[in-house]
Amino acid sequence: MFTALTHVDPHLVEAGRAYGLRGVRLLVRIRLPSAAPAVFAGLRLGLAQGRLFLVAAELIASSMGLGFLLIDSQNTGRTDILLLSILLLALLGKAADAVLGLVERRVVQDRF
């Protein structure tokens, strides 16, 4: 978030100051709306990485979860469960990304 705030267009900040915005009002009215797309891009990437690490941890040392289901179905030769768990992982990831995309669209549209 800090990087997104530092990369806000200086002309926007200057225009906000010209209209008398200082401190928190400048942050809320100019800097945060300008940084919102970058913040949401970081959130979406973080969400994807978090899901990958969660499944990786379940693959290594877990007795439940989709990662464990993948390994267990591979060991028992149940390709139907294996394919279903892969499909479920993809659907859950896509659904989470879609929800965050909707939130991003609403926040960014309201601000601009």
Q: Which pLDDT belongs to residue 46?
A: 93
Instruction: Answer whether 1's CB lies under 8 Å from 36's CB.
Output: no
Q: What is the mean pLDDT of the chain?
A: 87
Q: Find the mean pLDDT for residues 52-60.
A: 85
How would residue 80 be classed by pLDDT, with cut points 50, 70 and 90?
very high
Spatial CA neighbour of 38 closest among 61, 68, 5, 13:
5
Tens of pLDDT, residues 32-51: 888 888 889 899 999 999 98
Q: Find the mean pLDDT for residues 2-9.
A: 81
pTM metric for this prediction: 0.71
Tens of pLDDT, residues 81-99: 999 999 998 999 999 999 9
Taking the CA atoms of 82, 83, 88 and 91 in sequence, report the sign of the dihedral they define. positive
Residues 6 or more apart whose Cβ sits within 8 Å of residue 35 = 1, 4, 5, 7, 8
Q: Which pLDDT belongs to residue 108?
A: 83
